[in-house]
Structure 1
Amino acid sequence: MAEQERVLDVDNVRVTFDTPDGEVRAVRGVSMHVNPGESVAVVGESGSGKSQVMMAAMGLLASNGRVEGSVRYRGQELVGLPLKALNDIRGVKVTMIFQEPMTSLDPLFTIEDQLSEPLRVHGGLSKREASARVLELLELVQIPNAKARMSAYPHELSGGQRQRVMIAMALANDPDLLIADEPTTALDVTIQAEILQLLADLQARLGMSILFITHDLGIVEAFADRVYVMNKGLVEEEGPTERVFHAPQTEYTRMLLAAEPEGHKAPVGPDAPVLLRGENVQVTFGRPKGFLRPDTQLHAVRGINLTLRKGQTIGVVGESGSGKSTLGRALLQMLPSTGRVVYLDNDIEGLDRAAMRPYRKGLQMVFQDPYGSLSPRLTTGEIIAEGLQVHEPGLSRKERQRRVAEAMSDVGLDPSMRNRFPHEFSGGQRQRVAIARAVILRPQVIVLDEPTSALDRSVQKQVIELLRRLQVEHELSYVFISHDLAVVRALSDYLMVMKNGEVVEEGPVDAVFDHPTTDYTRTLMRAAFDLTSLLRPAARTGT
């Protein structure tokens, strides 16, 4: 296809960051293109540079980054384009769905305010017209109770719901090219299929091109016409999806395709000591109906019982908004709840922040959104050491540095990176920083909220092995919250399936996976392990 027909043309792009440790060459001469109406995927491990190529194309690099080369949208050069002219393209003709929705949404504005802005600025709609369009968009991306959610703030939505809001925002002005950076990372498997089907339907209706950045090869096979495989800032392989998946030409591509979670965790004995117990745990947001006040209550967790033993991993799965993350926070007393939570025979339900502090060292959490949970003003070393300064203030500076280096090595990060800031890492690397921050305190219980969702399969395997090793060495117990059923099966020995705030099925992992007793669980299993066949007929535009 002739160059002038291309929607996007990336030619020999190089991206370099200036860091305290010297220059980091994140992208080292990458060329790729997207044709009209085409779905193109860019895949690679965490840190391969795939997101930075698109950040450079959109003029969104961090202040210490610089770009060389050429990026053209329908023949118009974007690199070096004045901001005003660039804004006439991005957000209108070219839009982007970002990997971390919590940091992309303004916490001070409602969902309606944030979705209305591009409609009014770029679309010229009135306030009333924009409000109607916002409702239409939220219903389009299947936000439950969409009208009520218009007045919600980002922190009041689940991770998957926030991601759907980002998708709605990107689609608001019917773009010519949609750049989707890990748009389904935070979503459970059933919603993944729905969102991908939605994007495919919109693409067919609008003639929109899609550039899909992801580490999930199952989605790539189902969705993309062509694929670029990146490694260490370079394109290793490119070609039609069918050919790359069934006849890969490089060892690196073959390694990516073969990387799947493996292994099996043996269950703990019934006599293993109980570390954490929840009895009739309930979490309700909003307020009940009052005089001239509507009922705004949302029962996020409804009377759940949980018993976590020493050395055990309880997997918690369910669709976005099922309450699984809220349950994890309630168990650690990070939000108000009712019922009873007992840690090491101490009733911690309802304790204030000061009273909970002695228990925090033993009860740690790894959050779903690593960028939102890491301070942008602290270096990686300072972030990881922060807990030591609070809970082990007697350590010398030298000993703290030794512990930080040890924790970074444990999670597969080079200790020499300790002087870098979070924005200088890829999404997967940031998640490993978050894990290091938790394990450095050597806790007894860790609640892991989607700890591998931002990681490619090869790194997922490394993190799973890391968590297994730490669990054995320190007799750790995990509550592992995830929508990735393959990872849950590899790491957990007990499984709880949640829907609408309730546990609908639970039991030993193998029993639930091999013989699910509810239709809901069977639907989750089917969507998780048969995504390609569900999507391929409608989502592939080039075959």
Structure 2
Amino acid sequence: MVAQSLVPAERREAMNEDLKDPILAIRNLKVAFATYDGVVEAVKGIDIDIGAGETVAIVGESGSGKSQTMMATMGLLAANGQAQGSIRYRGEELLGLPPKALNRYRGKTIAMIFQEPMTSLDPLFKIERQLIEPLMAHSGLSRSAARARAIELLTKVEIPNPAERIDSYPHEMSGGQRQRVMIAMALANKPDVLIADEPTTALDVTVQAHILELLRGLQHEFGMAIVFITHDLGIVRRFADRTYVMRQGVVVEQGDTGELFTKPRDAYTKMLIEAEPAGRKAPVPPDSAIVLSAQGMRVTFRQRRGLFGTDVRTVEAVKGIDLTVRRGETIGIVGESGSGKSTLGRAILGLVPADGAVRYDGALIHPTDRHAMRPLRRHLQLVFQDPYGSLSPRLTAGEIVTEGLLVHEPGISRAERDRRAAGAFEEVWLDPATRHRFPHEFSGGQRQRIAIARTMILKPTLVVLDEPTSALDRSVQKSIVELLRHLQTKYGLAYLFISHDLAVVRALSDEILVMKQGAVVERGTVDTIFTNARESYTRELIAAAFLDNPDGRSFT
């Protein structure tokens, strides 16, 4: 059964009228980057129209050029990037404007929600400052009025305790909460056009649904157009009036979203619609050895507030959790943003202060000192949620992948490191020739594979995967699931797989821990959790995940 569009017919008719005079018109846009390996053409002469008040989705695999199209529109291409063609906003040419002239539009009439919030939020400033400055600059509000408006925006995007959290730093929020702050910032000045680049990537499925409804409601309230860049076709089907499908810098298909889903003409479009992580991992042998066990893990943060920091608030992020993972086993850890699942993973690796006991290969490794932990680091690795924030912009991809070798195998030659880098690229299905490029020259999905290669080159025993597929389109997710299965089988890896994407969790996991507010509220095998969940919270997560399966198909 093929999914039907949920966009009302009357809205599609209004959209056709708007397109007679688009507020944003892109013509023959070309984007190219000068790289070590020569000129890379990211966008190859495309046309896109955005009508007033409509929602346009731009979809395609990582590297298709969809994000670079909008970065060119905002004048935010990397220094080695160049755009040609025409980009007109209400008849005014934007392409080629100097930054000062572009700032009259950016953040006010045209705003953008970026894919990777940790690189867009300044780690040195509290959320308050980062929210109120654009309000004061573009809307002329006083500081007190801007703060009140900022708290209102945080409330709209469902940040808990917004009057308190506005005084937090970005690192004190979960990945999903940081993304919601980015959405609040983009909406601050009621833009005419909102460009949303994977705005729900870091959000769990329940909050994702709420955010989409929020954006829809604000769109109707302000009459703004939304350009929605995403790899999640389930969202596109529910949210977009029209859809452009991009592949390798070219628009291969476009049209009404409902018609595109019911009667796709291009084989590539059909592949995207059908792509979905599938199958199940092989069970772990009953005699498989225990790699790591944790008992009574607790993480408590103390937050100082007030003018002189005398107001101290204690937040218990992880509340006495036990887990055991065996060789070749995957423990899936799920829960809403802020549930403590990422903090638990870091506590087990000794990356945040924690109480409790952790044993690796039978030996007690926590509590212990950092010096004693250092030789064990190569065996206990972490793949971060935000690949761009974890990759140094000053190093080539090959240098990034081999960083760990400089620490754990300092005696090997540069040529040997480069040889291993090439092998690591092949192992994660990247062209080894691209290892001389810099991180900004890769797509979001390619950057995540570089992050995985950096981990795998050390041949670890256990890997904590913190939302490793959140930045990837569905077709690439499917291949990454197969890659992780392959690597797990080849090396007998143990995984702690942290994610809000229950389709991927089900495809990869043996056992699932469901977390809420720092505690495990339910645990069990994949079959038990998905077919006979006891807790209403677990059932809500599963129900929300099925929103991306409108035709009723199961994940099996």
Q: What TM-score, normalized by structure 1, do the two folds share?
A: 0.96
Distance 1:341 1:33 in 2: 56
Q: Give the residue type in structure 2 aligned to 1:299.
A: E
* 1:288, distance to aligned residue in structure 2 (A): 9.0
C-alpha spacing 1:493/1:532, structure 2 compared with 1 (3 Å): closer
The residue number in structure 2 matching 1:74 is: 90
The residue number in structure 2 matching 1:375 is: 392
2:115 to 99, 112, 116: 99
1:88 to 98, 104, 117: 104
The residue number in structure 2 matching 1:12 is: 28
Matched-pair contact (CA < 8 Å) for 1:13–1:28: yes
Q: Give the residue type in structure 2 aligned to 1:20.
A: Y
C-alpha spacing 1:46/1:114, structure 2 compared with 1 (3 Å): same
C-alpha spacing 1:90/1:288, structure 2 compared with 1 (3 Å): closer
Q: Give the residue type in structure 2 aligned to 1:508.
A: T
The residue number in structure 2 matching 1:259 is: 275
Secondary structure at 2:29 match in 1: strand
Deviations 1:156-192 (A, max 9, x none): 1000000000000000001111000000000000000
Does residue 165 of structure 1 match 2:150? no
Distance 1:94 1:381 in 2: 36
Secondary structure at 1:361 match in 2: helix
Map 1:42-441; keep pairs closer than 5 Å: 42-286=58-302, 293-441=310-458
Between 1:278-287 and 1:236-245, the stretch displaced more is 278-287
Give the percent of matched residue pairs that are identical in Structure 1 and Structure 2: 62
* 1:385, distance to aligned residue in structure 2 (A): 0.7
* 1:351, distance to aligned residue in structure 2 (A): 3.0
Between 1:285-294 and 1:344-353, the stretch displaced more is 285-294
C-alpha spacing 1:2/1:283, structure 2 compared with 1 (3 Å): closer
Does residue 517 of structure 1 match 2:534? yes
The residue number in structure 1 matching 2:7 is: none
C-alpha spacing 1:289/1:209, structure 2 compared with 1 (3 Å): closer
Matched-pair contact (CA < 8 Å) for 1:336–1:350: no
C-alpha spacing 1:287/1:82, structure 2 compared with 1 (3 Å): closer
Distance 1:505 1:520 in 2: 9
* 1:343, distance to aligned residue in structure 2 (A): 1.1
Deviations 1:250-308 (A, max 9, x none): 00000111111011123324432111111010111115999993341111111100101
Distance 1:313 1:532 in 2: 24
Distance 2:347 2:383 in 1: 14
Residue ranges of structure 1 left out of the alignment (5+ in a row): 535-543
C-alpha spacing 1:100/1:288, structure 2 compared with 1 (3 Å): closer
Does residue 473 of structure 1 match 2:484? no
Q: Give the residue type in structure 2 aligned to 1:520.
A: Y
* 1:345, distance to aligned residue in structure 2 (A): 1.8
Q: Give the residue type in structure 2 aligned to 1:425.
A: F
The residue number in structure 2 matching 1:462 is: 479
Matched-pair contact (CA < 8 Å) for 1:193–1:531: no
Secondary structure at 1:286 match in 2: strand
Q: Give the residue type in structure 1 aligned to 2:513.
A: M
Q: Give the residue type in structure 1 aligned to 2:59.
A: V
Q: What TM-score, normalized by structure 2, do the two folds share?
A: 0.94
Distance 2:45 2:368 in 1: 55
Secondary structure at 1:412 match in 2: coil
Distance 1:19 1:512 in 2: 48
Matched-pair contact (CA < 8 Å) for 1:222–1:531: no
* 1:398, distance to aligned residue in structure 2 (A): 2.5
Matched residue count:
534
Deviations 1:395-438 (A, max 9, x none): 22222222111110111111111111101111111000000000
Matched-pair contact (CA < 8 Å) for 2:331–2:510: yes
Distance 1:532 1:312 in 2: 27
Residue ranges of structure 2 left out of the alignment (5+ in a row): 1-16, 552-556
Q: Give the residue type in structure 2 aligned to 1:29.
A: G
Q: Could you say what the CA RMSD is over the residues aligned between the two structures, in angstroms?
A: 1.6
Distance 1:533 1:493 in 2: 26
C-alpha spacing 1:161/1:287, structure 2 compared with 1 (3 Å): closer
Distance 2:373 2:439 in 1: 28
Secondary structure at 1:360 match in 2: helix
Q: Give the residue type in structure 2 aligned to 1:78.
A: L
